[in-house]
């Protein structure tokens, strides 16, 4: 008979409990005024980050840590594109943030949140899916697609996700169907400094809402190889496309001569470096191809 300490399940349980205990100092309960507490990560001694999509519009918050400390904080930046909100602590708190880790498909993912008292909450999942870099609906580039096999509530998202070695995969985020996604540590590191400096991350914007459509062969004049386009459904008043004369009902088929049939390909062209650039929009209007010039401006916030 094996001694109880050698039992594999007990060992696993003990190891998980040890990981959770070691990470308790990373977890922060963020209390915005007049709204429900959210979860966050003590990312630097003076910076806590959380999930932007569940964070109310506020300028201040009180941060409560697992050891009972209460620290006042100011909201210093929010980026819808990568779902990061950053708060600066008035009094720094020492932190030993684990090293970043690359996720492995099927690897364990310890997903921490914060109870209103600051005490950590823990869920155990596995890395359910891994994919390459992707663009969020709000235009942010996320370095890897990491999805977990667990659902996450609004109060829990924004906390740290650790691998089996206790290293940091990133920040939990509520994705489609309430399932947890992870914003990778590398994405947070890339975005955080510009976000702290400017309060926002500016991305390119055309000022249109587009709907994918199938092009009939005779409609795609001059774009024969292309069987799809993006139909303009809304034009933001005074936006770049409005100024360029784009109309509702126009079908966008190419940008600077490159097919504009796949939204994800287009998103790549509207990063922070695209601001001010002039681009040629090839459209089909009333069955006839046309080209209009538009100048990319920063995407409005909110």
Partner 1 sequence: MNDPAPQPAKRRVLRVAIVTADPVRRAGLAAIVMEAGHAVSDDAAGADVVLADGVAPDAAARAVVLGGDDENQPGLLPRNAAPEQIDAALRAVAAGLTVRTTQTQGPVFDAIPELEQNLLTPREVEVLAAIGNGLSNKAVARQLGISQHTVKFHVEALLRKLGAASRAEAVHQGLRQRLIEM
Q: Are 47 and 86 in contact (CB under 8 A)?
A: yes
Minimum CB separation of residue 147 from partner 1 in Å reads 11
Shortest reach from residue 61's CB to partner 1, in Å: 18
Could you tell me which residues come within 8 angstroms of residue 288 by beta carbon, excluding any fewer than 6 positions away? 221
DSSP per position, 31-49: E-TTS--EEEEEEETTEEE
- β pairing state of 84-89 and 47-51: antiparallel
The SS3 assignment for 299 reads coil
Taking the least distance from each CB to partner 1, the nearer of 45 and 212 is: 212
Cβ atoms of residues 156 and 162 within 8 Å? no
**Least gap, CB of 261 to partner 1 (angstroms):** 10
Residues lying near partner 1 in the complex (CB under 8 A) are found at 36, 51, 53-54, 83, 134-137, 145, 151, 153-155, 173-178, 181, 205-216, 219, 228, 230-231, 233, 249, 251, 262-264, 266-267, 270
Q: Rounded to the nearest whole angstrom, what is the least distance from the CB of residue 134 to partner 1 in the complex?
A: 5
Task: Considering the complex, state which of residue 11 and residue 234 has its C-beta at the smaller distance from partner 1.
Answer: 234
Closest to partner 1 by CB, 78 or 98: 78
In whole angstroms, the minimum distance from the beta carbon of 40 to partner 1 comes to: 16
Contact 157, 104 (CB under 8 A): no
Residue 66 or 253 having the CB closest to partner 1: 253
């Amino acid at each position: 008979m094996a001694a109880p300490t050698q039992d594999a399940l007990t060992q696993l349980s003990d190891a998980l409990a040890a990981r959770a205990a070691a990470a308790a100092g990373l977890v922060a309960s963020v209390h915005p005024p007049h709204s429900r507490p959210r979860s966050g990560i003590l990312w630097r001694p003076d910076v806590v980050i959380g999930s932007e999509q569940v964070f109310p519009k506020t300028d201040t918050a009180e941060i409560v840590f697992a050891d009972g400390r209460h620290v006042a904080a100011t909201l210093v930046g929010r980026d819808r594109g990568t779902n990061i909100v950053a708060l600066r602590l008035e009094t720094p708190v020492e932190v030993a943030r684990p090293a970043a880790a690359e996720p492995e498909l099927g690897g364990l993912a310890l997903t921490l949140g914060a109870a209103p008292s600051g005490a950590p909450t823990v869920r155990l999942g596995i890395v359910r899916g891994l994919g390459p870099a992707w663009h969020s609906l709000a235009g942010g580039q996320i370095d890897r697609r990491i999805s977990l096999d667990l659902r996450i509530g609004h109060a829990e998202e924004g906390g740290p996700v650790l691998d089996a070695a206790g290293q940091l995969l990133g920040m939990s985020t509520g994705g489609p169907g309430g399932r947890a996604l992870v914003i990778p540590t590398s994405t947070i590191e890339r975005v955080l400094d510009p976000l702290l400096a400017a309060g926002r991350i500016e991305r390119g914007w055309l000022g249109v809402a587009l709907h994918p459509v199938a092009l009939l062969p005779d409609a795609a004049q001059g774009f024969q190889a292309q069987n799809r386009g993006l139909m303009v459904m809304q034009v933001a008043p005074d936006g770049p496309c409005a100024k360029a004369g784009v109309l509702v009902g126009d079908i966008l088929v190419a940008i600077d001569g490159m097919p504009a049939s796949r939204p994800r390909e287009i998103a790549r062209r509207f990063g922070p470096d695209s601001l001010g650039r002039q681009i040629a929009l090839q459209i089909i209007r009333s069955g006839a191809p046309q080209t209009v010039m538009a100048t990319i401006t920063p995407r409005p916030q909110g």
